[in-house]
């Protein structure tokens, strides 16, 4: 009787464990890592559970045929278990419940993607996995390779490098794991990755209304695939971003509450450990903080620009400010071209106050309308618009003068290089004489300023120069000459 009872207990325990692993991807992960990496001691963190829960919901929605709202971009630091979760374990867990679901994984190199596929297959063929889930499906004997295998329930797994051909293949879940190689970020290489994703990978979902594209990576450049899509297709992607240290880039922002002492994962990314990398400002900012614009360049510092609250300015003084709009324009809505940048500012005592900072990627007719809308919302009717007559700037000046009553003038075309003219006004910035309102959208302006001259995105740097030169530098020069 006791023997029978013990057997019953073991069977019950087995059945409960099996069901737990099937119903909870996070619980599956905690056990599966000990099988696939038996020599490694894993310490789990809140972000791993969060990513597991989000991935599980997506898989369950795909199985149920629920139309998706957005695809997913995940930016996390290196060594935060991103590849293990998504490129190795997610496929294996999914097939414990829904073995018909088809996967495709793509990385920057064929051998990396093949390595992830091989690990998934090793786990599926392990004694532990077969004991618990061998009755759910079996790997097909005639389709069982490192880079591609299928099961007897119509499920498939294919692995490709970013430059490999995926033509003819399709999937319900496409996982792009580090499409950009960190040390290969030339314009040509960046363009190639964008082109491959746009023209090939993006079209490989069996049902694009239900299936998911999941891009998971650390940032490598402002125009890497994450930066490109978050700029051009913002409404099409849910963005999860967990920097190694707490910054304003955490997304969803309510996840910031789980950072301990400002750190994502104290067991893996301690301050002492992170400090070995922070001497390389760009590398650290991009791959660990998920912001490929360095926090401070050698030329311009964030600490130079005070951020102030509107309510701290006396109402009478604020009402008398004479707002002006400064524009640095671009040709098209193509994200690879320079953006159209816009600053709205006013002389504020002996300083400058920035009311709004914008970046737009718009075709010419949309740009004309947008300028009118912002002018009506943020400026007095007689407020001046200053535009540099380069790119489509001259056409923009002529169009606004011809079709509106707005006061539009040309800014002077600088004779010096961009770096020289910026250096000519940094003394005003260092003296904290350009201030931003807290709701101005200052962050994108400061990102460009502090990355200059190392970033290709610098429209707001140009606008900052123009407004400083117009409101402070010219007046100082005139007073000096008169004296």
Q: Over the chain (483 residues), what is each successive 10-residue block's mean pLDDT?
A: 74 93 97 91 93 98 97 95 96 98 94 93 96 96 87 95 78 96 84 92 95 95 90 92 90 93 91 74 82 69 91 93 92 54 94 93 89 95 91 88 94 84 93 94 82 78 94 57 35
- Domain end (from 255, 288, 321): 288
Q: Quick one: 278 and 308 in the same domain?
A: no
Distance CA 175, CA 223 (A): 20
CATH of the domain at 257: 3.40.50.300
Residue 117 lies in a domain: yes
In terms of Cα–Cα distance, which of 50, 52, 125, 122 is closest to 86? 52
Say whether pTM exceeds 0.85: no
Residue 83 lies in a domain: yes
Q: Quick one: 226 and 333 in the same domain?
A: no
What pLDDT is attached to residue 27?
A: 97
CATH of the domain at 333: 3.30.420.280
Residue 294 lies in a domain: no
Q: Quick one: 343 and 213 in the same domain?
A: no
Q: Which long-range contacts (CB under 8 A, 24 or more apart) does 193-202 make?
A: 193/108, 193/162, 193/224, 193/225, 194/223, 194/225, 194/228, 196/162, 196/163, 197/225, 200/165, 200/166, 200/167, 201/106, 201/166, 201/174, 201/176
In terms of Cα–Cα distance, which of 85, 151, 64, 100 is closest to 72? 85
Q: Quick one: 53 and 186 in the same domain?
A: yes
What pLDDT is attached to residue 2?
A: 66
Q: Quick one: 134 and 232 in the same domain?
A: yes
In terms of Cα–Cα distance, which of 183, 218, 215 is closest to 198? 215
Q: Quick one: 308 and 222 in the same domain?
A: no
Q: What is the tally of structural domains in the chain?
A: 2
- Domain end (from 261, 288, 315): 288
Q: 319: exposed, middle or buried (C-beta count within 10 Å: 0-12, 13-18, 19+)?
A: exposed
Query: Which pair of tokens denotes residue 465?
Result: 């120069």
Residue 296 lies in a domain: no
Q: Quick one: 231 and 314 in the same domain?
A: no
Q: Quick one: 209 and 278 in the same domain?
A: yes
Print the domain residue range for 348: 302-482
Residue 293 lies in a domain: no
Q: Quick one: 411 and 435 in the same domain?
A: yes
Rg, the chain, Cα only: 27
Distance CA 472, CA 470 (A): 6
Query: Which pair of tokens denotes residue 208?
Result: 């694009």
Residue 461 lies in a domain: yes
- Domain end (from 256, 288, 320): 288
Residue 13 lies in a domain: yes
* Cα angle for residues 229, 59, 83 (degrees, 5° grid): 60
């Amino acid at each position: 009787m006791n023997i029978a009872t013990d057997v019953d207990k073991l069977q019950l325990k087995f059945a409960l464990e099996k069901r737990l692993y099937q119903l909870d991807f996070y619980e599956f992960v905690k056990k599966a890592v000990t099988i696939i990496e038996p020599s490694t001691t894993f310490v789990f963190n809140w972000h791993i559970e969060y990513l597991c829960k989000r991935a599980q919901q997506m898989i369950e929605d795909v199985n149920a045929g629920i139309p998706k709202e957005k695809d997913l971009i995940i930016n996390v630091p290196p060594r935060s278990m991103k590849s293990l979760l998504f490129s190795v374990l997610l496929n294996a867990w999914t097939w414990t419940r829904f073995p018909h679901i088809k996967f495709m994984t793509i990385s920057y190199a064929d051998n990396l993607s093949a390595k992830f596929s091989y690990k998934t297959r090793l786990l599926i063929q392990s004694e532990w996995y077969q004991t618990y889930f061998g009755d759910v499906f079996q790997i097909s004997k005639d389709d069982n390779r490192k880079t591609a295998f299928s099961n007897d329930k119509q499920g498939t797994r294919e692995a490709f490098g970013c430059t490999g051909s995926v033509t003819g293949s399709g999937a319900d879940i496409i996982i792009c794991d580090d499409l950009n190689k960190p040390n290969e970020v030339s314009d040509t290489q960046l363009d190639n990755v964008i082109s491959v994703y746009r023209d090939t990978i993006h079209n490989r979902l069996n049902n694009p209304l239900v299936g998911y594209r999941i891009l998971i990576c650390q940032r490598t450049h402002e125009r890497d695939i994450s930066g490109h899509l978050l700029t051009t297709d913002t409404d099409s992607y849910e963005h999860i971003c967990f920097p190694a240290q707490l910054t304003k880039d955490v997304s969803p922002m309510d996840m910031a509450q789980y950072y301990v002492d400002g750190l994502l994962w104290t067991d893996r990314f301690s301050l002492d450990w992170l400090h070995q990398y922070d001497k390389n400002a760009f590398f650290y900012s991009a791959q660990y903080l998920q912001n490929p614009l360095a926090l401070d360049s050698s030329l311009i510092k964030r600490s130079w620009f005070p951020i102030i609250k509107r309510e701290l300015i006396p109402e009478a003084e604020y009402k008398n400010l004479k707002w002006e709009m400064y524009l640095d324009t671009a040709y098209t809505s193509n994200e690879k071209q320079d953006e159209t940048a816009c600053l709205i500012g006013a002389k504020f005592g002996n300083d400058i106050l920035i009311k709004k900072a914008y970046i737009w990627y718009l075709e010419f007719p949309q740009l004309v309308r947008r300028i009118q809308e912002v002018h009506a919302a943020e400026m007095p009717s007689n407020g001046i618009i200053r535009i540099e007559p380069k790119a489509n700037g001259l056409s923009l000046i002529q169009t606004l003068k011809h079709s509106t009553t707005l006061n539009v003038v040309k800014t002077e075309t600088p004779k010096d290089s961009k770096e020289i003219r910026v250096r000519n006004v940094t003394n005003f910035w260092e003296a904290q004489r350009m201030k931003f309102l807290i709701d101005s959208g200052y962050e994108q302006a400061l990102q460009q300023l502090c990355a200059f001259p190392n970033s290709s995105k610098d429209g707001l740097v140009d606008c900052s120069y123009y407004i400083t030169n117009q409101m402070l530098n010219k007046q100082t020069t005139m007073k000096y000459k008169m004296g």
